[in-house]
Amino acid sequence: MTPQRPATRSRPSLARRALPAIALTSASGFLLSVLDRPSTIVDAGSETTSDTGSTGVVSIMPASPAAAPASTTAATSPTTPATTPATVPATVATTVPETVPATTPPTVATTVPATPTCTTYNGPTISTKWGPVEVQASVAADGTICWADAIVTPDSKSKSVQINNRAVPVLDDRAVAAQGTAFDGVSGATITSNAYKQSLQAIIDAVVSGQVAG
């Protein structure tokens, strides 16, 4: 019942014996400070206000395509599709890059006066660890996203509802701004963000490949 250690003649010191453990603990503390960058729900909420000024809860409203970014809706005529400045479809983008959003609406408006080319589609339901996510989006035949909204989000838990109430409007805006799924997810709602993108991408793919009738 004695420890089986090789006999060492040198006097062992506490410092030497404890050094690996102290080094490991310090490294852990350092790594913790580097890694720990939790993006809390508060961040998502503040992003919402700074991005678009929208007021939190957006009710599920697949009928009204008014959920375009605030900055552009002010300048554009109501219910026009393709109001986004950044990546407007090729036909428009060649003439109007980003600088003059005020001139864009007329050109588009003339092409689509009464019948908006946007059609509303429901994306596939993506199941996540927190629950299902389904995106409804209004997309033009060329893939332009007029508006997008998550009509199904995880709601089995109060925390999910709280998170999604803040995250979904941000995602809606970002999807339109990015005209696709190449946008940053909302921190703190990563799983919903990823599922949102997946559902939205399925709609875009289907429209662009012509699998669904425009």
Partner 1 sequence: MSSRLDAPTVSPSGASSPRGAAHQSTATSRRLLPPARRSRVLDSDIIWGLGAYVALVVGIWSMHGGLTRFTEGVTGIATAITQLSGLGASAAGLVGLLFTARPAILERRYGLDRLFNWHRVLGEAMAVLVGVHVAAALVEWQVDGAWGAAIADLTGREPYMAGATIGALLIGIVTVTSLRSMRNRLSYETWYFLHLTAYLGFALSFGHQIVTGADLADDAIARWIWVGLHGAVAVALIWGRWGRVLRSVVRPLRVHSIEQVAPGIVTLRLTGRRLRSMRGSAGQFCFLRALTADGWWRSNPFSLSEAPGEDGLRFTIKDRGDASQLLASLPVGTKVAVDGPYGVCTPEIADGRKVLFVVGGVGIAPARAMLEVLPPSAEPVVLYRAHSAADLVHHDELVALAERRNGRVLTLVGPSASLAVRDPFSAHTLRQAVPDVAERVAVLCGPDRLLSAARTGLRRAGVDSGDMHFEHSWW
Smallest gap from Cβ 202 to partner 1, in A, equals 11
Nearer to partner 1, 134 or 146 (CB): 134
Smallest gap from Cβ 134 to partner 1, in A, equals 15
Give the count of beta carbons closer than 10 Å to the beta carbon of residue 100. 11
Smallest gap from Cβ 4 to partner 1, in A, equals 6
Q: CA–CA separation, 19 vs 23, rounded Å?
A: 6
Smallest gap from Cβ 32 to partner 1, in A, equals 5
Nearer to partner 1, 27 or 61 (CB): 27
Nearer to partner 1, 35 or 90 (CB): 35
Smallest gap from Cβ 167 to partner 1, in A, equals 14
> Which of 75, 26, 62, 41 has its CA nearest to residue 162?
41
Nearer to partner 1, 75 or 178 (CB): 178
Interface ranges with partner 1 (CB under 8 A): 1-8, 11-14, 16-18, 20-22, 24-25, 28, 31-32, 35-40, 126-130, 157-159, 185, 187-188, 190-191, 194-195, 197-198
Nearer to partner 1, 55 or 158 (CB): 158
